[in-house]
Amino acid sequence: MSHYIGITPADLINSFSKRYFYGIRRNDDGEIFLGKYDQLVDEVLTINLPGNTSENFPNFTEGQDFFEGRDQYHELIYENLNYEQFRWDGRSLTYTINEDGEFVLRTDG
């Protein structure tokens, strides 16, 4: 027996086809950072940093992946873009660095 009128919590969770945002950025020292955001928990996700609007990433769409944050010379295409690459997924994933120094998705099993 349901104690909810309208949308249940399970309905809400299942309505997010791509609930998790994964973004990769690199600082000026070359350190790489991975941001993971859960739409049900995290309230703020900054796509463009403050600055000249002509240097913003203009086409952010929820659920759309983006992997072209640098050009062929490894220069930033959008100076204000907080994450050079990002993807969405419906699963909570874990990324690791393997013994060869490669960035990999850890799978169970």
pLDDT reported for residue 78: 95
Encode pLDDT of 42-59 as tens digits.
778 889 999 999 999 998
pLDDT of residue 48: 94
The list of the chain residues with pLDDT below 70 reads: 1-4, 6-7, 9-17, 107-109
Task: Please give the structure tokens belonging to residue 92.
Answer: 């909570």
For the chain, the domains span 9-106
Residues making up the chain, counted from first to last: 109
- Please tell me the predicted confidence (pLDDT) of residue 79: 93
pTM: 0.76
pLDDT digits (tens, 9 = 90+) for 93-102: 998 888 998 8
Which H or E run contains 103? strand 103-106
